[in-house]
Amino acid sequence: MEAALRSRNMEEFRRVLHAAKNIIVVAGAGLSAASGIPTFRGAGGMWRSLEAVSLATPEAFDQNPSLVWQFYHYRREAALRAQPNAAHLALAKMMVPSILARVAPAAQSFHLITQNVDGLSTRAIQAVAEERRSALSSPSPQDLPNPSCLIEMHGRLFDVRCTQCNHTVLDFSSPLCSALHEADKEHTSVIQAGQKEHEVKIPVSELPKCSECGSLARPGVVWFGEEIPLLEDIDKIVAEADLCLVVGTSSRVSPAANFAMEVRANNNRTGRVAEFNIESSSRGPVDFRFIGECETELPEALGLKDVE
């Protein structure tokens, strides 16, 4: 029974994918779980016995920029060590017009709207572009992933933005400043010595600075309570969509958590939603549910193996 249900689910999903015109993917931390990036829920949601979401706020940064910068230093280092996984690569391939035309022949647009700030989707796009450039003698734009299909709605971990003049630079240096490395080393040695954990205080003067005006800089991510800069563009794309794939998200953070329901209400409720998660966790009803690791389920459901 189980197998029959699964294949019918897969067949029906493929039929809807084949006829879809405007496809969006809404992704969360589960997309990067297989790359070793901790999710926000469960054990991954804690850093040094602190709630990750409690550190991702402007208030936390105002009160204790040293601690918040150490939190983001930890996340930067984890993201630098990570590699895009099969789910990231599958979604990057959907950004290649010639591949999208074979997977979804009626599609006029494909967008990946990710809540992740780890940059792994961007690296997947670069990896797919490189692979196709080496595979194809003279690849045309049709043969390469279009980076504008990716929307990092909660910002980027490696963006460093000035708290005064807003000057922003994409900076992958590790560490971003020596004080963060020293604090990390000190914290690790305290733990290894089995001593009681204590917070290492970094003077504001030694924290990352704006290269333009020298003021304190902050991570270029969207914190809770902050506006989503690209929301207007995103709302237009969501309003046009007739198929939404919800990948590896607990759908607890808005506005991202509302997009699937908005798509399902599109065109007199003819929009379709498919969920990819290790457990069912969508906020609203879905038409298809693929329970399992997205790095396995997504490439298979998209039938990418057969089209390359």
Q: Which segments are annotated as binding site for substrate?
A: 72, 75
Q: Which is nearer to Zn ion, 46 or 165 (CB)?
A: 165
Q: What track of x and - describes contact with ligand BV8 for positions 181 through 210 (by CB under 6 A)?
A: ------------------------------
Whether the CB-CB separation of 100 and 92 falls below 8 Å is answered with no
Whether the CB-CB separation of 13 and 274 falls below 8 Å is answered with yes
Q: For residue 13, give both structure tokens.
A: 């999903």
The backbone region for 12, taken as left when phi is positive above 0, alpha when psi lies in -120 to 50, beta otherwise, is alpha
Whether the CB-CB separation of 113 and 256 falls below 8 Å is answered with yes
Q: What track of x and - describes contact with Zn ion for positions 164 through 183 (by CB under 5 A)?
A: xx-x----------------
Report the C-alpha gap between 251 and 282 in whole angstroms: 6
Whether the CB-CB separation of 165 and 213 falls below 8 Å is answered with yes
Q: Does 14 bind ligand BV8 (CB under 6 A)?
A: no
Residue among 39, 121, 122, 266 that touches ligand BV8 (CB under 6 A): 39
Residues 267-296 touching ligand BV8, rule: CB under 6 A, are 276-279, 281, 293-295
Q: Which is nearer to Zn ion, 82 or 162 (CB)?
A: 162
Token pair 């290492």 is at which residue?
200
| 293 binds, options Zn ion, ligand BV8, none, Cβ within 5 to 8 A by partner type | ligand BV8
Q: Does 232 bind ligand BV8 (CB under 6 A)?
A: no
| 34 binds, options Zn ion, ligand BV8, none, Cβ within 5 to 8 A by partner type | ligand BV8
Q: Which is nearer to ligand BV8, 254 or 267 (CB)?
A: 254
Residue among 17, 56, 86, 144 that touches ligand BV8 (CB under 6 A): 56
| Annotated catalytic residue within 73, 111, 154, 181 | 154
Question: Smallest distance, Å, CB 138 to Zn ion?
Answer: 43
How would you classify the pairing of strands 243-247 and 217-221? unpaired
| 198 is known as an active-site residue | no
DSSP-based three-state secondary structure for 169: strand
Helix (DSSP H) and strand (DSSP E) numbers for the chain: 13, 11
Residue among 162, 176, 234, 245 that touches Zn ion (CB under 5 A): 162
**Cβ contacts of 87 within 8 Å, gap of 6 or more:** 31, 34, 247, 248, 294, 295, 298, 299
Q: Which is nearer to Zn ion, 167 or 289 (CB)?
A: 167
Report the C-alpha gap between 297 and 293 in whole angstroms: 6
Helix axis angle for 86-93 and 120-135, nearest 10°, is 60
Whether the CB-CB separation of 286 and 273 falls below 8 Å is answered with yes
Q: Which is nearer to Zn ion, 160 or 241 (CB)?
A: 160
Q: Does 187 bind Zn ion (CB under 5 A)?
A: no
Report the C-alpha gap between 192 and 16 in whole angstroms: 54
Q: Does 253 bind ligand BV8 (CB under 6 A)?
A: yes
Q: Which residues bind Zn ion (CB under 5 A)?
A: 162, 164-165, 167, 210, 212-213, 215
Q: Which residues bind ligand BV8 (CB under 6 A)?
A: 28-30, 33-34, 39-41, 53, 56, 115, 117, 154, 221-228, 248-250, 252-254, 256, 276-279, 281, 293-295
Active site residues: 154
